[in-house]
Amino acid sequence: MDLKFTTTTTSDELLQILTLQQMNLKSAISELEMANEGFVTVEHDYKLLKRMNDVCPHILAKDGDKVVGYALSMDPSFGQEILVLQPMFDELKKRNIIDFLAMGQICVAKTHRKQGIFRGLYEEMKKNSFPKYEYIITEVDATNSRSLGAHLAIGFDKICTYHSLGQDWELISLKTH
């Protein structure tokens, strides 16, 4: 395995992110797989993914030339562009939380799980976002216990649980330094 962590620089890498995302959407996997492996909720399009990357590059785990994991970087200026994420940004505003980078989604290919990639993606994100941002903020579907446990295990702290769009969300943060 030739694993490295880096930022997204090419359109091919963006397309590979979208392919990996499609394979792990809640709508694309079974209930059992969701419970055991976790899932992603938001489906991005190429244009938005590229615009987000132009402001703050997404973080990648690559095995050779193949993207095997990603953590999407979302500057708060994109807070109103994805319907399912708008309530998270509203919640942060209510709590007067500023100076953060939103981690818009994290995913690791099934073939590369349990190899430290999740932790590596966040370490790379911390390195690339400090000192511009003091915190990395994200939310996890409260039913996605695998993802929530993984986030808490690497140092995320719970801000709150809130209800939006018919479900509960865990809002969590990680200091970048």
Question: Residue range 66-89: average pLDDT?
Answer: 91
pLDDT of residue 143: 87
At CA 154, angle to CA 149 and CA 158, rounded to 5? 60
Read off the pLDDT of residues 106-126 as tens digits, 9 standing for 90 and up: 999 999 999 999 999 999 999
Question: Residue range 123-142: average pLDDT?
Answer: 93
Alpha-carbon separation of residue 23 from 15, 31, 57 (angstroms): 13, 14, 22
Position 45 pLDDT exceeds 80 = yes
Decide the pairing of beta strands 135-141 and 100-108: parallel
Helix (H) or strand (E) holding 35: helix 31-37
pLDDT of residue 29: 79
Question: Residue range 59-80: average pLDDT?
Answer: 95
| CA-wise closest residue to 64 among 107, 112, 106, 21 | 112
pLDDT of residue 43: 85
Quick check: bond before 131 cis, omega within 30? yes
Q: Are the CB atoms for 117 and 66 separated by under 8 Å?
A: no
Position 81 pLDDT exceeds 90 = no
pLDDT of residue 174: 96
Q: Are the CB atoms for 121 and 57 separated by under 8 Å?
A: no
pLDDT, the chain, mean:
92
Beta bridge partners of 101: 136
The proportion of the chain whose per-residue pLDDT surpasses 90, expressed as a percent, equals 71
Q: Assign 133 a pLDDT band (cuts: 50, 70, 90).
A: very high
Position 138 pLDDT exceeds 90 = yes
User: Does domain 3-175 sit in CATH 3.40.50.2300?
Assistant: no
